[in-house]
Chains A and B, each alone.
Chain A
């Protein structure tokens, strides 16, 4: 056989169609088999995408589960505004697990490095228990990190929210096994198989709205750890860190104290798709201080019940 022969049969189903069909199937399976699902919703592009897919899965019905935001207190204001507007528009119920509440009453203590991402685990687990949620949707993708690359689409967690990577259930065909016992819950990742470029291509195709900081804008920033950090109350510059105005955008949106921006002129979705297609850095490598701590940073946090 010569490679120039094309065996491809045209069915009109491209990569994005296949990924969409898979994600909607997963979302419906979880809603059908679990009592009280919830979606982790930060206003970040991946959780926005899962919510969009859920609206398609149940149209003309309303999305049949609430959303949960683990609020570190270090939020970008435009993301909170977007979160509230989205929840209002879709007629959803918003649950908030507030890290600040835990710090205020002493259940958690601020870390020396000021980063609050690792502090999210306890409020998250408490909110899952309080809401009696047996399934928790997340927007995690396997291409984000080497540990995530090994996680199942339905990932069983014990009562401490822990992931046991060495004892995962085999995941076969498109038959998802959601059996769990009292105290356990399942994390469900419908967009496991999407890449960053798939996400952006789909956002462009579907015209999905995102918080404005995903697109190029001018911002007061300073340089730290090879990343541009935004100036804010929770992320002040240290002496010696020069503050300057740059045209930047965010590739991920997380806690303001540890999420960096990248220099970019990509002001539209189409610009971003082009930029991502030619990027030479992974999104987490480029923008997340917390994932740079060690080679196993993500694995350790997942084992402890993090997303």
Chain B
């Protein structure tokens, strides 16, 4: 069976997303008899649909009492299903309440995002916004499900219009791998099986496509040099595991535990350790009690090194010659999720890899207009804004640009007082606002413009 695929679903209100998710789970036999019975019973009690036995698929995914009572979805819900070819983790992201927060949460771990578009409405403002988030977070695959195509008599023209708009938008946003599929979630067209109602469409069904897309780990596994953030150091000394027979040979055991964030490590590899840059050799790779010759991302292993280096949590072991530039100043895009606005001068914590450091947001360069993605002046970032900022770190970090290395360029912004996660951040190339934008920013902030 192929590798696990994590995907997120997003759409505007009434695009039929819950129905699509329910249909996908139902038709892939992921819904079991007791769940179906409960949903069928509740559907009937609430008078859903005209036909007897019609099912309100949304009831399958709305997990909280408030959601069922209000008929809305509040939070990202995770669903699990598998076909003969692959296992899936589906992050179901509600579209209307705090959609940026939910989209960002779902998209940061996604190999693919399915965005629903109502065939009757075409590409809307919110579709553009969803795709902008997906583009900025560099989700590898984007699937546009053109839903309710049955209500337009399976019109090829309606599909072609959406497909052309999506293609233009994909170019504009720099989306890499985009697919457009005509579907009816309610009727089941092109969800699991290809539909006879859309003979003019010769592409795969939604599920067929999901079964064949390469995951992020598959895409990145051979592309990047080794990067291994150290989570902790394993030095059992006397406290050995029960199945260690030869206590004497483990007396001085010392290994660096972590999860490979990119590349492959092999015994005998020359590696460098951040901070400091000392060079040494990998003498052993332990995966539990198994010693292995090599391991690749995203495995969790322990590395034994030839030299006794002074490395602890926060250190990063990399391929020789691939030592990251230590950075104290970051240009970054932030997806602001905090209830309180972000203003220049804010003191925060930044968590990147296995390091958490104090930081200062020194400058808000601007706020993204999500329709055009243009940077516009802003004195502060409000909840659900995407902004461009400069951050000064109290300690140097081995952080890289997100575009070249996702896991090395992603960070959290944390409120030092409440502990709340204020923002998702990604390190970008330096972005300069134009002179007019800077003047406007100053004016917006109430500063005297010179």
Which A residues have a C-beta under 8 Å from some C-beta of B? 1-3, 5-9, 11-15, 17-22, 24-25, 28-29, 31-32, 55-64, 89-91, 142-143, 145-150, 156, 165-166, 168-175, 177, 179-181, 192-193, 195, 197-198, 279-282, 285-286, 295-296, 299-300
Contact = CB atoms under 8 A, between A and B. Distances in A.
Query: What's the dominant secondary structure at chain B's contact region?
Result: mixed
Interface in B192-213: 202-205, 208-209, 211-213
Contact of B63 (A19, A174, A175, A299): A299
Contacts of B1: 14-15
Nearest to A206: B288
B300 A150 contact: no
A64 B235 CA distance: 11
Contacts of A285: 32, 34-35
B48 interface: no
A102 to B, nearest CB: 28
Interface in B157-187: 179
B231 A60 contact: no
Interface residues of B, number: 91
Contact of B421 (A6, A58, A60, A177): A177
B413 to A, nearest CB: 10
A34 B64 CA distance: 30
Contacts of A286: 34
Contacts of A149: 61, 63, 77-79
A28 to B, nearest CB: 4
Contacts of A29: 231, 354
A32 B241 contact: no
Contacts of A28: 231-232, 257-258, 300
A141 to B, nearest CB: 9
B79 A11 contact: no
Given A3-B204, A6-B212, A59-B289, A25 B300 contact: yes
B293 interface: no
B130 interface: no
B34 A32 contact: no
A9 B218 contact: yes
Contacts of B235: 61
A13 B217 contact: yes
Contact of A9 (B205, B208, B221): B221
Contacts of A1: 179, 203-204, 209
Given A2-B203, A28-B257, A32-B231, 6 more contacts: A13-B296, A20-B300, A22-B300, A170-B101, A175-B352, A197-B82
Contacts of A18: 3-4, 217, 298
B306 interface: no
Contacts of A25: 231, 259, 300
Given A11-B217, A19-B4, A62 B239 contact: yes
A35 B244 CA distance: 26
Contacts of B400: none
Contacts of B222: 9
Nearest to B102: A170
A197 B76 CA distance: 23
8 contacts: A7-B213, A11-B218, A13-B3, A13-B217, A21-B298, A28-B232, A150-B63, A166-B75
A13 B242 contact: no
Nearest to A28: B231
A150 B38 CA distance: 19
B328 interface: no
Contact of B75 (A15, A143, A165, A282): A165
B316 interface: no
A171 B242 contact: no
B62 interface: yes
A168 B105 CA distance: 11
A60 B250 contact: yes
Nearest to B36: A280
